[in-house]
Structure 1
Amino acid sequence: MCVGLALATPIAVLVSHGGEAGVSSAQGNYLLRITRFTLLQAGLSTLLSLLFAVPLARALARRPAFAGRRWLISLFAVPLGLPPLVAALGLIEIWGRNGVANKGLGLLGVETPFSIYGLSGILIAHVFFNLPLAVRLILPGLERLPPEYWKTAANLGMSGISLFRLIEWPAMRRSAAGAAGLVFMLCATSFTLVLVLGGGPAATTLEVAIYQALRFDFNPGRAVLLSLIQVGMTLVVMLALKLMSVPTEAGDTKGGATSRPDVRGGLHALPDAALIGLGGLFVGGPMVAVIVSGLSADLSRLLGDTLFWRAAATSLLIGVAAATLSVMLASLLVRARYSAEAKPGSPTLSLLASLSSAAGSLTLLVPPVVLGAGWFLMLGGGTGQLLAPLAVIVLVNALMALPFVMRVIEPAHLSTMERNGRQAVLLGVTGINRLWQIDIPAMLPPLATGFVFAVALSLGDLGAIALFGSDRIVTLPWLLYQKLGSYRTSDAAGLALLLGGMTMGLMIMADRLGNRNGYGQK
């Protein structure tokens, strides 16, 4: 109920303001153009991500034992936790006007430089984030194919095309469809990457337009209409995702020995090696660029700046508060669902179980900028306020982390209840005594994993702070965005290295905590 209220309140504010907003012909054309571009870039990003992910996943499945494969698969997990602003800076270092790609084109005699800004930059950024995700979702299906399939294919003399059509594609079709829906939703609700790399009104999505309508124009009517369109579009995408049954576990992607009739060594391995090498270069290049440019910045001066430490303290304060709230909400929702499902037959308890299950997914329906827009209007822009905007930022970050925290806690809670529940009843340990003596100690590892993961997500988030950021409320992502906006690229590079290092350190900690206790959060 608390989650529903936190989501419904800003939506209600948006709807109430929407009744006052009329749609003129010019505004209708503007809304149509923004919506069309949002769908266009999301569709193209999805197409490109899957177009490269399928052959790359095939190449990795065909070559399960090359040196460095495990590290490459681990590298593909890094963009999932990398703050978008940090990635954007790395992409600018590679694909920007003075980046590595344009310098290489210049050596080849190409005079017109490639532009990272606009639709091209948005597509590159989205493929950078979503190509590794799609590969990690598609690859396990190929690696789980029984060896008997390949023996039969060898006996029948199948060629590469026949192998793909009759064996590989059926194995990857479901996961590829699920990956396509997931990538489309992520791209349709993308904010930070479009804000930084959009480059102007011609390359603006719904979320960026909401931000601009409130932050620069203070046009609540337009922001409300954009927000309602965004929520409606997200709802349609989520329903489509539900129908496509997205796989919930990426599975083990380290591979193993297999005998395929289409795998030969020598020169025949060059196409696969080229695909794998280019994939690793495309994903790893921007990360290396962030490290190199960050190390060349004046880090000692940045670390001596009181504004940096104030921003870091604010970010950590918001992250810890948001993570605490998210873990508490996730624990209550998981507990309520388990208690309701443990007593079947009651319509009321069945409804409670359904609501508890849906609460985590509902937070994906309303993007952070839309949530922030409702609270922004409720607070009158938050001008001159401090505690209320901070509370909103914490709440939005907690809700955005909730689905991921629930994925960590729920299987651990189920396992704990199955292992300890009967023993607790036999020993007569119930109520608060059971909670403190049995349940909480057993759940501490997954709770710690979810907490650290939520802190990392909040630390790199720009969506909520974008509306309320000011001289009084400064976080590390907001400070980095200001440095980029004022073309202080050296300072931005140093901040990106520090922010990326902090975030990735937390993600690694969460991953190790999860793997150590068997509760990974992939």
Structure 2
Amino acid sequence: MGAASLVALLRYSDWHSWLGYMQQPYLWRVVRFSLWQALLSSGISLLIAIPVASCLIHRSFYGRAALLQLFSVSMVVPTIVAILGLVVVYGRSGWLYQLFDIHIPLYGLVGILLAHVFFNMPLAVRLLLQGYDLIPSGQWRQASQLGFSRWTAFRWIEWHYLKKVLPGAFVLIFMLCFSSFAVVLSLGGGPKFSTLEVAIYQALRFDFDLNKASFLALLQVSICTLFAVVVYRIAPVNRQDVSLLAVKRYSLKDSFWAKSADALALLVAFILVIPPFLAIFDPVFSPIFLLTLQSAALWKAVLVSLQIAFPAALVSLLLGVSFCVLARFCMARRYLALLPNKIEHLGNLILMVPGLVIATGLFLFLRDLGWGFQSSYWIVVWVNAVMALPFVLRALMPVMYQQERRFRAVYLSLGVRSWSRWCLEWPLIRLSVAQALGYALLLSLGDMGVIALFGSQGLVSLPLYLFQLIGAYRLEEGACVAVVLILLCLLLFYGSTRFIGGRSLVKH
């Protein structure tokens, strides 16, 4: 899909003018900043996530389950809402300045890094927790019997498995940050802090220069592809242990320094994630909040958002399940054993192609067929579904692989196939399916990239409506709309995990 859209856009390109683009100093300044902020964001997110994940594995404390749920929501919270929360906390007259008289230059590289860490540190924690699931119970038991300290266990056990997960997590977060749009558009503060994704948006939205947009898109895809290939080439193979279903962990030798390190890691996580969330709900106590709820434009935007989110989430879930079924089919056949990892990487490669490029290419393709802007709604739905696919795969792939490795021989001996097999596995995978649907719903609900390009009077979603209010300097009303948007996200995520996932909750 991404390749087809890129090809459709390349049809309108003038290849001879690309040499002129490559000689522009502004282009390479944008490329350098895109790489620099993505590398910094990915590195900081993972450096914080490693001790936080280790703490969550070894410590049981009040509110641990709530913190994990908050991490699940924060990594897919609508970008424009999170930005508002960050402005309330770190802005010129924000909480940090009022309480401690500390001023942070929010508009620029620092603000971009803060926003990216807010989104991607929880994502990194969730991915690292999947790495901890690879560790067999026997190794934890031996470590406990030998009196391993936390550092010794991390050095000789945990790191061996985490380094298998880190390359994939680093590539995923790097591509998310490299193709960042709404964060850079809102907190960049000017052309000096622009990224390739913003440059593509400017070429399409303001200039409608398909030639320049296709060049920038191809450049972005090439950089991301090269980066992913290099990382995956040096990354160790990540395999799920056949015996794992629920890993039993044994207590390790504790110390004052271990407790202090865990407390510091949790404190950093709390400071980065919780204040922006609390700031989002501050307008609830404003008198203008009730007036905002009476606005017809608000509820029309809510309806449009739901009309986009539900079809996009269902399509994304269907695509994710199809990828998983195909990967498991290959796992069961020795001559196709190399394909499952390639299929998973294929699902993640969609992040390399900018969503704006996919939408524009699809629009041009449909326009050639005689469909004009009346296809905008379906373009937005389809592109949101495709862009949510990597998150859906991250939720589904580990548990689907696990069931395949555990019960493949039983299924083959009993002749269990297709629907019967799905019915048997449903109680074990329903929570992962619920999380995948929740991620897709929230990502589609909070989309600001594609809807900003194709939005019109009849197609204004909540994020676009919020962005329009902020652009018109109606900040108080915009803050109230942000509360409605985040409440809707929490309601949909809870509904998907509660009604599809069931009452039983797993530790992570």
What amino acid is aligned across from residue 374 of structure 2 in structure 1? Answer: L
Asked whether the 8 Å contact 2:344–2:393 carries over to 1, the reply is no
Report the CA distance shift for 1:330/1:129 in structure 2 as closer, same or farther (over 3 A): closer
Q: Which residue of 2 aligns with 1:466?
A: 452
Give deviations 1:350-371, integer Å, cap 9, x for gaps. 9999997665344333231221
2: distance between equivalents of 1:423 and 1:151?
39
What amino acid is aligned across from residue 72 of structure 2 in structure 1? Answer: A
Q: Which residue of 1 aligns with 2:316?
A: 326
Of 492, 496, 507, the match for 1:506 = 492
Report the CA distance shift for 1:254/1:459 in structure 2 as closer, same or farther (over 3 A): farther
Report the CA distance shift for 1:418/1:256 in structure 2 as closer, same or farther (over 3 A): closer
Report the CA distance shift for 1:248/1:105 in structure 2 as closer, same or farther (over 3 A): farther
2: distance between equivalents of 1:392 and 1:39?
29
Secondary structure of 2:256's aligned partner? coil
Q: Which residue of 2 aligns with 1:3?
A: none
Question: Cα distance, 1:378 vs. partner?
Answer: 5.2
Secondary structure of 2:252's aligned partner? coil
2: distance between equivalents of 1:294 and 1:469?
28
Alignment of 1:441-456 (within 5 A): 450-451=436-437, 453-456=439-442
Larger mean CA deviation between 30-39 and 143-152 belongs to 143-152
- Aligned residue pairs total 491
Q: Provide the alpha-carbon RMSD of the alignment.
A: 4.2
Alignment of 1:170-181 (within 5 A): 170=160, 172-181=162-171
Q: Does 1:264 align with 2:232?
A: no
Of 5, 23, 30, the match for 2:26 = 30
Of 461, 465, 482, the match for 2:468 = 482
What amino acid is aligned across from residue 205 of structure 2 in structure 1? Answer: R
Report the CA distance shift for 1:102/1:35 in structure 2 as closer, same or farther (over 3 A): same
Asked whether the 8 Å contact 2:283–2:289 carries over to 1, the reply is no
Asked whether the 8 Å contact 1:412–1:443 carries over to 2, the reply is no
Give deviations 1:243-284, integer Å, cap 9, x for gaps. 4258699x99999661325x139xx84554243223213211
Q: Which residue of 2 aligns with 1:133?
A: 123
Q: Which residue of 1 aligns with 2:291?
A: 301
1: distance between equivalents of 2:267 and 2:160?
26
Question: Cα distance, 1:16 vs. partner?
Answer: 2.3
Q: Which residue of 2 aligns with 1:83?
A: 78
1: distance between equivalents of 2:330 and 2:284?
51
Question: Cα distance, 1:124 vs. partner?
Answer: 0.6
Asked whether the 8 Å contact 2:18–2:215 carries over to 1, the reply is no
Q: Which residue of 1 aligns with 2:2?
A: 7
Q: Does 1:225 align with 2:220?
A: no
Report the CA distance shift for 1:419/1:513 in structure 2 as closer, same or farther (over 3 A): farther
Alignment of 1:185-224 (within 5 A): 185-224=175-214
1: distance between equivalents of 2:445 and 2:390?
17
| TM-score normalized with structure 2 length | 0.81
| TM-score normalized with structure 1 length | 0.79
Asked whether the 8 Å contact 2:53–2:125 carries over to 1, the reply is yes
2: distance between equivalents of 1:497 and 1:468?
24
Q: Does 1:40 align with 2:33?
A: no
Asked whether the 8 Å contact 1:450–1:510 carries over to 2, the reply is no
Give deviations 1:312-361, integer Å, cap 9, x for gaps. 1111112222234334444555556666777877xxx9999999766534
In structure 2, runs of 5+ residues without a counterpart are none
Q: Does 1:97 align with 2:92?
A: yes
Asked whether the 8 Å contact 1:294–1:493 carries over to 2, the reply is no
Give deviations 1:114-168, integer Å, cap 9, x for gaps. 22111110001111112222233345666956243355466xxx8x877765565
Question: Cα distance, 1:201 vs. partner?
Answer: 0.4
In structure 1, runs of 5+ residues without a counterpart are 1-5
Larger mean CA deviation between 173-182 and 439-448 belongs to 439-448
Secondary structure of 2:464's aligned partner? helix
Report the CA distance shift for 1:441/1:395 in structure 2 as closer, same or farther (over 3 A): farther
2: distance between equivalents of 1:25 and 1:241?
28
Larger mean CA deviation between 506-515 and 202-211 belongs to 506-515
Q: Which residue of 2 aligns with 1:148?
A: 142
Asked whether the 8 Å contact 1:82–1:503 carries over to 2, the reply is yes
Asked whether the 8 Å contact 2:217–2:354 carries over to 1, the reply is no
* Percent identity of equivalent pairs: 34
Asked whether the 8 Å contact 1:194–1:208 carries over to 2, the reply is yes
2: distance between equivalents of 1:141 and 1:10?
34
Q: Does 1:53 align with 2:49?
A: yes
Report the CA distance shift for 1:290/1:353 in structure 2 as closer, same or farther (over 3 A): closer
Question: Which structure would you say has the larger Rg?
Answer: 1
What amino acid is aligned across from residue 143 of structure 2 in structure 1? Answer: Y
Asked whether the 8 Å contact 1:70–1:254 carries over to 2, the reply is no
Q: Does 1:373 align with 2:360?
A: yes
